Amino acid sequence: MKTDNKKNQKKTEKEIESLLKKMTLDEKISMIHGASLFRSGGVERLGIPGIETSDGPMGVREEFMSDRWIPAGNNDDRVSYLPSNSALASTWNPYRAYEMGKVLGAEARGRGKDVILAPGINIKRSPLCGRNFEYMSEDPKLTATLAVPFIRGVQDNDVAACVKHFAANVQETDRLMVDEKIDERTLHELYFPAFKAAVQEADAYSVMAAYNKVNGYHCCENKQLLDDVLRGEWGFDGAVISDWGGVHLTKEAAECSLDLEMSVFPDFDEYVLANPLKELIKKGEVSEEAVDAKVRNLLRLMFRLKMIGKEKADRKQGAYNTPDHRQMILRTAQESMILLKNEKQALPLNASKIRKLTVIGQNAAAIHSDGGGSAEIKALYEICPLMGLKCYLGGNTQVTYVPGYYVPEKRKTFDHNWQADSLDDLKASTAGVLTRDDGAPKDHRAEEEEHIAQRQREAAEVHEKNQALFAEAIEAAKDADAVIFVGGLNHYIDSEGADRADMKLPYEQDELIEALLKVRKDMIVTLIGGSPVEMPWKDKAQAILWSYYAGMETGTAFAGILFGDINPSGKLAETFPDVYGDCVTAKNGQFGVGGSISLEEGLYCGYRYFDRQRITPAFCFGYGLSYTHFTYSGLTFKTEKGGEIKLTFTVRNTGRRIGAETAQIYVAPIGAKADRPDKELKAYSKVELAPGKSRKVTVTLKREDFAYYDVNAHDFVTDAGDYEILVGASCADIRLKGIATLT
Nearer to ligand BGC, 176 or 543 (CB): 176
Distance in Å, CB of 591 to ligand BGC, minimum: 17
Residues 710-729 touching ligand BGC, rule: CB under 6 A, are none
User: Do the beta carbons of residue 722 and residue 740 sit within 8 Å?
Assistant: yes
By CB under 6 A, name the one of 52, 243, 578, 611 that touches ligand BGC. 243
Alpha-carbon distance of 388 to 316, in angstroms, equals 34
Amino acid at 490: N
Q: How far is the CB of 136 from ligand BGC (least distance, A)?
A: 15
Q: Any idea which residues carry the catalytic annotation?
A: 243
Q: Positive or negative CA dihedral for 53, 54, 58, 60?
A: negative
Least distance (Å) from ligand BGC to the CB of residue 245? 7
> Is the Cβ of residue 493 or residue 625 nearer to ligand BGC in the bound state?
493
Q: Is there binding between residue 244 and ligand BGC (CB under 6 A)? A: yes
Least distance (Å) between residue 30 CB and ligand BGC: 20
Shorter beta-carbon distance to ligand BGC: residue 111 or 141 = 111
CA 166 to chain CA centroid, Å, is 13
Neighbouring-strand partners of residue 439: none
Interacting residues with ligand BGC between 161 and 180 (CB under 6 A): 164
d(CA 54, CA 478): 48
Residue 55 Cβ vs ligand BGC, minimum distance, rounded to whole Å: 5
H/E/C letters for each residue in 593-646? ECCEEECCCCCCCCHHHHHHHCCCCCECCCCCECCCCEEEEEEEEEECHHHCEE
| Strands in 186-259 per DSSP E | 206-209, 213-214, 217-218, 239-242
Binders of ligand BGC in range 286-325 (CB under 6 A): none
User: Based on the number of CB atoms within 10 Å of its own CB, is 58 exposed (0-12), middle (13-18) or buried (19 or more)?
Assistant: buried
Fill in the amino acid letter for 115.
V
Q: Which is nearer to ligand BGC, 243 or 578 (CB)?
A: 243
- What is the SS3 assignment for 248? coil
Exposed/middle/buried for residue 458 (C-beta within 10 Å: 0-12, 13-18, 19+) = middle
Whether omega before 570 lies within 30 degrees of 0, making that bond cis, reads: no
CB of 72 to ligand BGC, least distance (A): 15
d(C-alpha 37, C-alpha 420), whole Å: 14
Q: H or E stretch including 507?
A: none
- The one-character DSSP state at 82 is P
646-685 in b/e form (b: 16+ CB < 10 A) is ebebbbbbebeeebbbbbbbbbbbeeeeeebbbbbbbbbb
- Indicate whether 39 belongs to the interface with ligand BGC (CB under 6 A): no
Q: Any contact of residue 556 with ligand BGC (CB under 6 A)?
A: no
Q: In Å, how far are 93, 349, 408, 440 from 513, measured between CA atoms?
A: 33, 19, 19, 48
- Nearest Cα neighbor of 58 from 414, 332, 407 is 332
* Paired strand residues for 206: 162, 239
CB nearer to ligand BGC: give 11 or 68.
Answer: 68
Applying the rule CB under 6 A, the residues between 333 and 392 that interact with ligand BGC are 374
Shortest Cβ distance from residue 373 to ligand BGC (Å)? 7
Q: Strand, coil or helix: what is 47?
A: coil
Residues between 52 and 81 that touch ligand BGC (CB under 6 A) = 55-56
In the bound state with ligand BGC, the residue whose beta carbon lies nearer, of 117 and 550, is 117
CB of 452 to ligand BGC, least distance (A): 25
Radius of gyration over alpha carbons of the chain, in Å? 26
Contact (CB, 8 A) for 361 and 487: yes
Residue 494 as a binder of ligand BGC (CB under 6 A): the answer is no
Work out how close the CB of 117 gets to ligand BGC at its nearest, in angstroms, rounded to a whole number: 4
Q: How many residues bind ligand BGC (CB under 6 A)?
A: 7
Spell out where 361-454 has E strands: 398-402, 427-428, 434-435
In the complex, the smallest distance separating the C-beta of residue 311 from ligand BGC, rounded to whole angstroms, is 28
Q: Which is nearer to ligand BGC, 38 or 580 (CB)?
A: 38
CA distance 623 to 544: 13
Residue-level length of the chain? 743
Under a CB-based contact definition with an 8 Å cutoff, are residues 306 and 314 in contact? yes
Residue 117 binds ligand BGC (CB under 6 A): yes
Task: State which residue, 244 or 609, has the beta carbon closest to ligand BGC.
Answer: 244
623: number of CA atoms within 13 Å, CB side? 20
Q: Among residues 246 and 488, whose Cβ is nearest to ligand BGC?
A: 246
Cα separation, 288 vs 685, in Å, equals 51
Distances in whole angstroms, Cα of residue 735 to Cα of each of 119, 488, 614, 664? 33, 32, 19, 10
Nearest CB to ligand BGC, comparing residues 244 and 604: 244
User: Phi and psi (nearest 5°) for 339?
Assistant: -85, 110
Q: How far apart are the C-alpha atoms of 206 and 163, rounded to whole Å?
A: 6
Residue 711 Cβ vs ligand BGC, minimum distance, rounded to whole Å: 31
Nearer to ligand BGC, 164 or 679 (CB): 164
Residues of the shown chain interacting with ligand BGC in the complex, contacts defined by CB under 6 A: 55-56, 117, 164, 243-244, 374
